[in-house]
A and B are shown apart, each in its own frame.
Chain A
Amino acid sequence: GENVEQHPSTLSVQEGDSAVIKCTYSDSASNYFPWYKQELGKGPQLIIDIRSNVGEKKDQRIAVTLNKTAKHFSLHITETQPEDSAVYFCAARGPGAGNMLTFGGGTRLMVKP
């Protein structure tokens, strides 16, 4: 089955700096890659996603890039703010009937004011 690895597990940046989180996946048939933000005590909230027919997608300070050949995708957050502090999860969805998401291990991002 699909396996998603995520790095780094923790990331500390100064407010205003950029943060980059990287994920690799194993199943070349995976076609959808969402990123979720999880704040303490809450469920994962979708922040951006990308499908396999697109190489890059941007939404204000957040961007995601996808390299299908290398089977990796990355989350880029620019001009980080303290409220960006959270755990970020990448995920991949394969073409199976059940729409199952396979998650990476998570990255705890800390933005220091």
Chain B
Amino acid sequence: EPEVTQTPSHQVTQMGQEVILRCVPISNHLYFYWYRQILGQKVEFLVSFYNNEISEKSEIFDDQFSVERPDGSNFTLKIRSTKLEDSAMYFCASSSGIGETQYFGPGTRLLVL
């Protein structure tokens, strides 16, 4: 069964450093998403991406965040200058179309020290 994969599974970084989280969505999917879950809190939407551009973003997704689909298979989330409060589990998801089921990856646990 096709699945969304994410790398790395864990990342530890120093405050102020840049991190790139990587995702490989399901191969025939066209819509891609990033969500995050701070420990003990709700899963929160960050951004959705379609046709090589952002379709929607939340207030959390400020200028420190960017997304990119650098090739035909990868979808990345970059945090330019990490803050302590960026520590969270980051989930990538994909769907085959607008309104279709979103399938989530296993997540990347980011710890900012």
A contacts, CB < 8 Å to B: 32, 34, 36, 41-46, 49, 89, 91, 93, 96-106
Instruction: Say whether B57 faces chain A, with CB atoms less than 8 Å apart.
Output: yes
| In the complex, the 7 A-B pairs of residues with the closest C-beta atoms, listed nearest first | A98-B56, A98-B48, A43-B104, A98-B55, A103-B43, A100-B45, A43-B106
**Smallest beta-carbon distance A32→chain B, Å:** 7
Interface of B is mostly: strand
A99-B105 contact in complex given A44-B91, A104-B42, A105-B42, C-beta closer than 8 Å: no
Measured CA separation A51–B106 after assembly (Å): 25
Chain B residues within 8 Å of A93, by CB: 99
From the candidates A34, A43, A98, A106, name the one contacting B42 in the complex (CB within 8 A): A106
Contact B101 A98 (CB under 8 A): no
Number of residues of chain B lying within 8 A (CB) of chain A = 28
Measured CA separation A46–B54 after assembly (Å): 24
Contact B43 A99 (CB under 8 A): no
Instruction: Say whether B75 faces chain A, with CB atoms less than 8 Å apart.
Output: no
Chain A residues within 8 Å of B4, by CB: 43
Contact B102 A101 (CB under 8 A): yes
Further contacts, 9 of them, CB under 8 A, given A42-B107, A45-B104, A97-B55: A43-B4, A46-B103, A89-B43, A91-B43, A98-B48, A99-B33, A99-B55, A99-B56, A99-B99
Name the residue on A nearest B45 (C-beta).
A100
> Quick one: which of B75-110 are within 8 Å of A by CB?
91, 95, 98-99, 101-107
- Return 18 A-B CB contacts under 8 Å, by A number: A34-B102, A42-B107, A43-B4, A43-B6, A43-B91, A44-B43, A44-B104, A45-B104, A49-B101, A97-B55, A97-B98, A98-B56, A99-B48, A99-B55, A99-B98, A100-B45, A100-B48, A103-B44
